[in-house]
Structure 1
Amino acid sequence: MTFSRSKSITRAIAVALILNVFMLGGHSFTYASASFDGSATENVVIVYGNASLEHSRDTRNAEQLMKLYDSLRIHSRIVSLIRVDDYRAGQIQGVTHVFLYGLAEENVNASLGADLRRFSGVIGWIGGGLERYSDYGLQERIAVTGYSNQFTELIFGPGETDDRNETRTLIGETLHVPKLAASDGQTVQRFGWLSDGQKRYPYVLHADKLWAISAIGENASLNDALSRILDQMFDVQRSSWPNVLLMLNNVSPFIDLERLQSTAEWLYEQGVPFIVELRPVFANMEFKQMQRYFEVIREVQQLGGTAVLGNLQGWYPPDAWNTDIERYSETNVTSPEDADVLIALSLQAYLDARIYPLAFTGPMDLLFDQEYVRTMSYFSTFVQNGVWKGYVSDQLPEQAWAGNYVSDKVLLQFDSSNDWEGLQATVERRKKDGATFDDFRNHPNKVSFDESDIASVSGEIRVDGQRVLYEKMVTEEPPEQPPAELSGVNRGIKQTMSFIFIIAGLIVGLFLLAFVAGKRIDRKKHLR
């Protein structure tokens, strides 16, 4: 299970409030997200091989699968995963793109082959196995002539046949990579080459609806080449995309709030909008430190900071080995420790303090965690933050979360409290290079929970449809309360005590008068 049900709600809250500060250096990147722009309508299915991938202790294939998933989510509102052994007829019906990965050693799925023959969208075949589906019309113009473990160099240029400006990059040895060949050079487009030092073969071939991509991998050059091919497949122009999104991570009541405030002021002076990742809070709101925290975040919003809500600190990935067992013990009972309950409490706490989170952020594993299905339904935008922790599960298109996805490839990330020098140097360098910094509020984002809605519309924040301003919260002094009326018994006691005080005062006064008079009589006797 995602949360230990034996822990009390108090402990869960305490764990969620603990600040775990870690350094996230700035990432370089060259493109942003069509999905984030809200312009993406593509629905993508990945059919992948290796039936034991989900439960495999060797995570290398899974890591490549998740990198592919991340690259495709940049372009698509929905990306779902189906193992080839589990594929059933019609599961790619209605989607725009199908990608097949890791099928070189898998048995042919006849239902998949028949659906691919009829499919009218875009097919991306990554790696080997294409020749196994030759009976379904996938090798009419593109063929696999063999496999090689000796490809060590990627040759890639700006166009499919433009070799004048091509670049050569060593990629290390690759395993079981298909040797692609075009059967009709006039109608098949080529993008790049893979070389073994003696002979080279096309890196990518494109004919009609089929794109054959020979390899993906951990090498940065292969990743960049794949991203450029995906631009072509999704018909995206990089030059039209925003340049930089700046993000401050791990903002909580326990950090140096003065440093956060001074950082926000400096970014405001530089004309740089930014994102602040807020830790969930839902207890001890009356404490002075919490009130100070809310005050600073409101000022950060005024200075161009846009809030997003981070994940619970007590979360850890589900154990994939126990997933099947737990499916039989699921109930519809809602626990106060459930993620959706805690996240909703935190959203309400921030909203009450006039702080407006516009997205949810965390590692990609959250998109596959069944206990986060309701939590993810609150948000139209997810910001990938943190490395993938090793969890993935199959999802049909109707099960996959649909929304705007922001990959960490498009973020410059910094720690909120102890990376001031790195942030300042990076911002100044980017500005010198001509970069522009994108405002998160200018993109369509919406958060809906309980009966409340927070949305960004053309740079404005709206709560339940009403435009809000980033003003400071004014705390009104409580009006003076009239004295409470006394009961009959209390009035009697008050009158009695007043009478006693009056009598006591008279007695004391008479005593003083007698004392003074006696002194005067003694003085007269003495004078005589």
Structure 2
Amino acid sequence: MRRNHHRSYMMLLALLVVSLVFSVPVPVQAAEQTSFPSVLILYDSLGVGTKQEGNVEALKRLLAAFRVQVTAEPIDSYAAGSLNGYSKLVEVRNRSDWMEEPSGFLADLQSYQGGLLYIGEKPSDKLARSLGLRVQAARRTADLAIGPFVEKSIDVPYLFDSTQNEAKRYGTLKIHSSGASYPYGVLNGANAYVPFMEKDTLSEIALAYVLKDWLQDHQTGHYFLVFKEIYPFSDLSLLERMSDELFEAGIPFIVSVHPVFSNTDYPAMKRYINTLKYVQSRNGTVLVESPVVASTIQDLDRSMQRQMEHFIDELAKEGVVPLGMGTEMYWSYDEHYVSEGMAFFDSVVLYPDARPIYKAKRNRSTAFPSSLYSVNSAFLQRYLSDDRLIKPMPMDTAITFDFAENESELDRLVDGLKSSWITFEDYKNEAHSVKTGTNELASDRGSLVLNGVSLGIQASHVETSSDHVYKQQGKKSFETWFTVQNKIFIVIIFITLIVFCGFLMIGYRMYKRKFYK
């Protein structure tokens, strides 16, 4: 009998332990660990001080837009045998003086079965044979054309031709002096080649056409309209007016808004959220922009994850459904920023790096199911050959504008968008998901979903009262006594002043009589 009681007691204890183990909360990750293609970038230098400076960064942003996981490292740091862990290899040559590769890399490259994209002057003999390449150094001036884009009078360091008839050619380099035409890029099977790529030029966009086929990405690219630099202290009435005008013009748009981590019960925050809710009702989509990183970030002792989650939950509480994050690309190469700030989102818009400040830098990126490549409007308009022929770029692209600071600037911006031939897509039409420990936010075929419930997006303008007690008053001892005491002192001082003025008048008259005598 005792044995049965003992056995029952042990079974109950085991069940209790199991229930406690499975009840431990697990941090929520919005972006599920999906299998993404892996690409290795090997470069001989970053080209600092040359025209090639920044091309590795631009290449990483392009690859992120095709939803691949990227590892980037200098070729002299290559570890023998690691190449086989990647499905694709991009070799970038920025140095004019030829450097010998590590022997381990040469041996691995000979047996490598994955795809290879080479950017530079001297491709390997194996790649040259597979593509039928004939590369020549040529400091000439040419016009580069690809898709609806043209860049006039660029300096071309290298030219090539391909003898492979079945190879696919990309773009055209038309030489000014001779009128001869050469391709910008070529692809045959798993191998591809382009002679050069420079950041913030048309060659950056031209490379995207090559990458799309090389990566075998079959999704259709779209344009999205994104407004940045929106803060709680921005002109919110101007933001509402812009939302009205774009809604009436039938132009869907995205606002990338800076988060607020403290004082979220203040009227300024309430006005901020009410404005975002109104923007959402005018067919606008809200993204959370990464917080500004100070140069003293290493010295800070605070939880970004908790702060970001708090801001997202504050938005959700008022019916505002953010669908992604806007941030500079270097965030996706930092372990701290990824785990603390980006883990809630499965969709991002990656901006060019302005001032990278890493906390836990790594050479491997985090890939996202949805990642928009971003360009500012001036960059795109600079190369359009015809404003009426604006076909989508090979990948989903965000055309970004800084939010207007005054009405005249807003008028010019909105008028330009209304007259543009670009067709902007609604970000909500694609699948996006944001998860915190409390809320699940998503989009479903154009609708916003909060915790499984589809939300109506209509909202009216809501005024927020400016009457607010910013600091609660504590209970004060002897407050009544000191108030009465102050009033008594005021009366005494007032009477003293009257008496003093009386004595002053009497003295004045006595002195005047003495003077007459």
TM over 0.5, shorter chain: yes
User: Are residues 1:123 and 2:116 paired?
Assistant: yes
User: Are residues 1:66 and 2:32 paired?
Assistant: no
Identify the structure with bigger relative contact order (alpha carbons < 8 Å, sequence gap 6+): 1
SS at match of 1:255: coil
Q: Is the 8 A contact 1:302 1:470 kept in 2?
A: yes
How far residue 387 of structure 1 moved from its aligned partner, in angstroms, is: 4.5
Q: Is the 8 A contact 1:40 1:76 kept in 2?
A: no
Matches within 5 A, 1:127-526: 127-131=120-124, 134=125, 137-142=126-131, 148=137, 150-154=139-143, 156=145, 169-172=152-155, 174=157, 177=158, 180-182=160-162, 184-191=163-170, 192-193=172-173, 195=175, 197=177, 203-218=184-199, 220-235=201-216, 240-243=220-223, 245-316=224-295, 336-374=301-339, 375-385=341-351, 387-389=353-355, 395-396=363-364, 400-409=366-375, 410-418=397-405, 420-470=407-457
Q: Which amino acid aligns with 1:138?
A: L
Q: Which amino acid aligns with 2:354?
A: W
CA distance in 2, matches of 1:40, 1:247: 28
Q: 2:480 corresponds to which residue? A: none
User: Are residues 1:107 and 2:100 paired?
Assistant: yes
Q: Is the 8 A contact 1:40 1:77 kept in 2?
A: no
Q: Is the 8 A contact 1:379 1:446 kept in 2?
A: yes
User: Are residues 1:48 and 2:39 paired?
Assistant: no
Q: Is the 8 A contact 1:365 1:388 kept in 2?
A: no
| Residues 1:466 and 1:93: Cα distance change in structure 2 (over 3 Å) | farther
| Residues 1:382 and 1:419: Cα distance change in structure 2 (over 3 Å) | farther
How far residue 372 of structure 1 moved from its aligned partner, in angstroms, is: 0.5
Q: Which amino acid aligns with 1:43?
A: S
Q: Which amino acid aligns with 1:208?
A: G
TM-score normalised by structure 2 residue count: 0.66
How far residue 411 of structure 1 moved from its aligned partner, in angstroms, is: 2.8
| Residues 1:40 and 1:263: Cα distance change in structure 2 (over 3 Å) | farther
Deviations 1:34-90 (A, max 9, x none): xxxxx995433222222xx4xx96486451111122222222332331322232345
CA distance in 2, matches of 1:155, 1:311: 36
Q: Is the 8 A contact 1:142 1:180 kept in 2?
A: no
Q: Is the 8 A contact 1:40 1:75 kept in 2?
A: no
Q: 1:20 corresponds to which residue? A: none
SS at match of 1:267: helix
Equivalent pairs, count: 402
How far residue 316 of structure 1 moved from its aligned partner, in angstroms, is: 4.9
| Residues 1:123 and 1:394: Cα distance change in structure 2 (over 3 Å) | farther
CA distance in 2, matches of 1:442, 1:70: 23
Q: Is the 8 A contact 2:227 2:400 kept in 1?
A: yes
How far residue 395 of structure 1 moved from its aligned partner, in angstroms, is: 2.5
CA distance in 2, matches of 1:193, 1:471: 51
Runs of 5+ consecutive residues of structure 2 not aligned to the other structure: 1-33, 376-396, 464-517
How far residue 469 of structure 1 moved from its aligned partner, in angstroms, is: 3.5
CA distance in 1, matches of 2:198, 2:402: 29
Q: Is the 8 A contact 2:37 2:69 kept in 1?
A: yes
TM-score normalised by structure 1 residue count: 0.65
| Residues 1:411 and 1:345: Cα distance change in structure 2 (over 3 Å) | same
CA distance in 2, matches of 1:60, 1:167: 19
| Residues 1:457 and 1:250: Cα distance change in structure 2 (over 3 Å) | same
| Residues 1:196 and 1:145: Cα distance change in structure 2 (over 3 Å) | farther
Q: Is the 8 A contact 2:238 2:406 kept in 1?
A: no
| Residues 1:265 and 1:154: Cα distance change in structure 2 (over 3 Å) | closer
Q: Which amino acid aligns with 2:198?
A: G
SS at match of 1:65: helix
CA distance in 2, matches of 1:167, 1:379: 36
How far residue 91 of structure 1 moved from its aligned partner, in angstroms, is: 3.6
